[in-house]
């Protein structure tokens, strides 16, 4: 894993100074057990944090880094970044226009963690709010709770003045749901087991046919950042698994699964099969490995190995007896070192978003296993 740093130390004076257009590669050092002194500011996220701009000039990681560099609180900066993706109707895995559940209703999940404040908040299966990350932050700031779900989360948002909409579907998300519905229920299945199996198979068929991307099928954006003072925060937000059982909550809103932050050591968040990540609370595992002195790359790989060891059901294995799904982690430590890792890279095609003083880029994801999840 090569980190990008500038030719001179980044200095914060209320705004980012000396933005460089080039970068030099350095060998990533192992994260110390305790880091003191200046950190290298960085924001990392899943790839949609680079590709989605909602019609604006800046993407998620650029927005977050720019606000961070101007002295804004790190979590506020990160949430402003993911709001771009949540509001972008072209991203079918997050926020407005996200994949609806099996009943055609968009239900959203999110959580956030503030390293310096040792605070966190989350919402699950919330309806009608385009930016669930902001509601998750409100849970953190205005309640003594970490997670509010379902109708209670929607009413909590309403009580704080969030706009509640009747339907977060776009024309595209509704069209895709109707396509899925026709595939699984042409003759009104009566056997629930057959219906569940048919629904999963229909979703994977749509991925295979190129109608939706694998990343969109599972959804999610995770975004983590650290500023020059070493303040570490993170946020994850998603519409969850495409056409999920209504009320299903994946890993994204759960602390330790879809996101974990320890302000003394670093942060990790995830995209991909949420149930696999939930079973091992793997974002927590990643940060624990950082605490023990591992680099972001090695810490992420350890979590992936744990998922592989825990995947034993035949229905979850491919023809090579390996996990038949993908999971990715985006990891930073307090020093500003970072990594993106995944179970599979799909022929080195997978990327994650990074923004440093040198600007934003799509960086290569390091894979635990060769080949792809499908075979």
Residues 6+ apart with CB under 8 A from 283: 251, 256, 257, 258, 259, 260, 268, 269, 270, 277, 303, 329
Instruction: Give catalytic residue positions.
Output: 220
Q: Contact, 369 vs 308, CB < 8 A?
A: yes
Q: Where are the alpha helices (DSSP H) in the chain?
A: 48-51, 60-69, 74-87, 132-142, 150-159, 171-184, 192-208, 214-218, 274-280, 282-291, 296-310
Which residue has tokens 């430590």? 333
Is beta strand 351-356 parallel, antiparallel or unpaired with respect to 259-262? unpaired
Is there a contact between 246 and 103 (Cβ–Cβ < 8 Å)?
A: yes
Q: Residue 364's closest CA among 349, 346, 347?
A: 349
For residue 150, the Cα-to-chain-centroid distance in whole angstroms is: 20
Cα dihedral value 9, 77, 36, 28, nearest 10: -60
d(CA 54, CA 106): 19
User: Residue 37 CB: number of other CB atoms within 10 A?
Assistant: 7
CB atoms within 10 A of CB 331: 34
DSSP string covering 254-316, please?
SBTTTEEEETTTEEEEEEE-HHHHHHHTHHHHHHHHHHTT--HHHHHHHHHHHHHHH---GGG
């Amino acid at each position: 894993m090569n980190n990008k740093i500038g030719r001179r130390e980044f200095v914060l004076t209320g705004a980012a100074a000396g933005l460089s257009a080039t970068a030099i590669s350095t060998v990533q050092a192992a994260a110390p057990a305790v880091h003191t002194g200046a950190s290298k500011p960085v924001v990392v996220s899943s790839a949609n944090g680079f590709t989605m701009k909602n019609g604006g000039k800046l993407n998620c990681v650029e927005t977050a880094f720019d606000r961070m560099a101007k002295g804004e609180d790190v979590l506020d900066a990160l949430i402003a970044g993911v709001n771009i993706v949540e509001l972008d109707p072209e991203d079918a895995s997050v926020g407005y226009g996200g994949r609806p559940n099996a009943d055609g209703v968009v239900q959203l999940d999110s959580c956030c963690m503030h390293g310096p404040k040792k605070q966190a908040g989350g919402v699950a299966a919330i309806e009608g709010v385009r930016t669930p990350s902001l509601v998750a932050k409100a849970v953190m700031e205005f309640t003594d709770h970490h997670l509010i779900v379902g109708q209670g989360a929607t009413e909590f948002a309403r009580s704080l003045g969030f706009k509640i909409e009747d339907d977060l579907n776009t024309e595209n998300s509704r069209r895709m749901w109707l396509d899925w519905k026709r595939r699984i229920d042409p003759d009104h299945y009566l056997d629930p087991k057959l219906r569940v199996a048919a629904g999963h198979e229909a979703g994977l068929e749509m991925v295979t046919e190129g109608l939706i991307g694998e990343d969109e099928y599972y959804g999610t954006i995770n975004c983590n950042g650290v500023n020059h003072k070493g303040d570490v925060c993170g946020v994850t937000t998603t519409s969850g698994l495409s056409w999920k059982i209504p009320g299903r909550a994946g890993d994204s809103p759960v602390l330790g699964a879809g996101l974990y932050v320890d302000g003394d050591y670093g942060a990790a968040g995830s995209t991909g099969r949420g149930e696999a990540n939930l079973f091992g609370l793997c974002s927590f595992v990643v940060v624990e490995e950082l605490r023990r002195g591992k680099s972001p790359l090695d810490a992420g790989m350890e979590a992936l190995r744990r998922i592989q060891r825990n995947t034993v059901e035949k229905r979850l294995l491919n023809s090579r007896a390996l996990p038949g799904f993908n999971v990715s982690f985006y990891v930073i430590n307090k020093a500003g070192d970072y990594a993106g890792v995944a179970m599979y890279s799909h022929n080195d095609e997978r990327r994650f978003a990074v923004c440093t003083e040198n600007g934003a880029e799509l960086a290569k994801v390091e894979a635990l296993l060769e080949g792809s999840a499908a075979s």
